[in-house]
């Protein structure tokens, strides 16, 4: 196995998680430098891990001087295309970055094109699929124990652009990444459209895939409460309905299923603990595996992420145009501007009373 050099940009919470993930994979990666505009913040982040690295405040300079194999950056979505261009300019082999890919579908499409044309193995951090309860549900689905997949209903009570690409990506992964044939959506509320991840208050959509599977997505306070009312960021999950049973995962509670083998009984893991799962560590391990072997593509690869992002934008465009959207989704539509101008002001978005 080859050991790859890596650099990290960003010393916020997720940036520190990635630092720890590279250290957990020290047999596969060597962190050689770090970057943040706030140098003391990065100094604190490295001190937490007893790590001594050169610290830069300019990503271009860091990449030029260190010439790493892997560029990992954790930024706000509006600067991601700029960082991807930098990585391509400096000839990195791989780029790992956070979701959502960008602010617009056009930018997301250009990011995928830059990586493909530069032969960069790029991943978008949809890391929850590496947690044990997601892996268990995937195992059940793949084993055929719930029969043929009919529908997947994936929900999150966090707001749209913080969470939607996660649940779309995981639902598609559970179904082996089919291609969308049609997309419909509903949106309302504009209070969160000025956020760093500008989002409608609530979005609901349905997507039909070429495999025959239908998927339903919900994001926002009207999404169902899954039993974690005190923390919207883990009150999310997906339920897969098959011809002979179901399997469900809830981010903050674990998994449960009814399968052919369970004889009509619901089975679950009674010892689930969210703290047991080092999701980002496994996500980074899979990047090393892909760098070693082209035949082991990362499930979070940028091409899969782009199709998920296209679906997310399709639901918004469907709601604005009051029509079914058929991919490829028109990337010239100014979705954010239209949401800001066309969504009516909502004085109140009620929450699911079950919470």
Q: What is the pLDDT of residue 274?
A: 65
Asked if residue 346 is part of any domain, the answer here is: no
Tell me whether residue 345 is in a domain: no
Query: Does residue 18 sit in the same domain as residue 67?
Result: yes
CATH assignment of the domain containing 71: 3.40.50.720
Kindly write down the DSSP assignment for every residue of 82-97, as one continuous string. HHHHHHHHTT-SEEEE
First-last CA distance in the chain? 49
The answer to whether residue 315 sits within a structural domain is: yes
Average the pLDDT over 313-328 and give the result.
98
Sign, CA dihedral 218-353-274-140, equals: negative
Burial class (CB in 10 A: 0-12, 13-18, 19+), 77: buried
Domain span at residue 16 reads 4-127+280-301
Instruction: Identify the three-state secondary structure at position 150.
Output: strand
* 23-50 residue pLDDT tens: 999 999 999 999 999 999 999 999 999 9
DSSP, collapsed to helix, strand or coil, labels residue 208 as strand
CB 108 within 8 A of CB 309: yes
- Are 30 and 77 within one domain? yes
**177 and 55 inside one domain:** no
CATH of the domain at 260: 3.30.360.10
**How many structural domains is the chain composed of?**
2
**pTM of structure:** 0.95
In a domain, 351, yes or no: no
Output the pLDDT for position 1: 80
Q: What is the mean pLDDT of residues 266-279?
A: 77
- pLDDT value of position 244: 97
Question: Tokens in use for 251?
Answer: 């981010």
Res. 320: pLDDT tops 80: yes
Q: What is the CA radius of gyration of the chain?
A: 20
**DSSP character string of 40-106:** HHHHHHHHHTT----EES-HHHHHHHH--SEEEE---GGGHHHHHHHHHHTT-SEEEEPSS--SSHH
pLDDT tens-digit series, residues 136-163 = 999 999 999 999 999 999 999 999 999 9
């Amino acid at each position: 196995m080859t050991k790859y050099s890596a650099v990290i940009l960003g010393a916020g919470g997720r940036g520190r998680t990635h630092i720890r993930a590279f250290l957990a994979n020290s047999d596969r990666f060597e962190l050689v430098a770090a970057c943040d505009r706030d140098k003391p913040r990065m100094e604190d982040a490295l001190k937490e891990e007893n790590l001594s690295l050169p610290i830069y405040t300019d990503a271009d300079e860091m990449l030029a001087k260190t010439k790493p194999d892997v560029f990992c950056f954790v930024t706000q979505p509006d600067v991601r295309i700029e960082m991807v261009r930098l990585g391509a300019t400096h000839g990195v082999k791989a780029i790992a970055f956070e979701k959502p890919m960008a602010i617009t579908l056009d930018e997301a499409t250009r990011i995928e094109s830059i990586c493909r044309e530069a032969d960069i193995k790029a991943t978008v951090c949809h890391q929850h699929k590496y947690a044990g309860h997601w892996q268990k549900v995937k195992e059940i689905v793949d084993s055929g124990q719930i029969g043929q997949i009919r529908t997947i209903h994936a929900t999150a009570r966090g707001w749209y652009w913080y969470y939607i690409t996660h649940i779309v990506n995981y639902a598609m992964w559970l179904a082996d990444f089919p291609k969308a044939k049609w997309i419909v959506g509903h949106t309302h509320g504009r209070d969160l459209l000025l956020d760093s991840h500008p989002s409608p208050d609530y979005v609901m959509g349905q997507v039909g895939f070429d495999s025959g599977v239908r998927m339903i997505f919900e994001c926002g306070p009207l999404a169902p409460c899954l039993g974690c009312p005190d923390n919207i960021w883990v009150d999310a999950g997906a339920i897969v309905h098959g011809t002979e049973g179901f399997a469900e995962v809830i981010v903050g509670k674990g998994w449960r299923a009814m399968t052919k083998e369970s004889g009509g009984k619901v089975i679950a893991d009674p010892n689930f603990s969210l703290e047991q799962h080092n999701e980002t560590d496994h996500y980074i391990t899979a990047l090393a595996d892909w760098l070693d072997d082209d035949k082991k593509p990362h499930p979070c690869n940028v091409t899969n992420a782009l199709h998920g992002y296209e679906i997310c934008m399709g639901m918004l465009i469907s709601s604005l145009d009051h029509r079914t959207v058929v991919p490829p989704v028109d990337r010239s539509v100014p979705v954010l501007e239209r949401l800001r101008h066309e969504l009516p002001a909502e004085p109140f978005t009620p929450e699911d009373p079950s919470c």
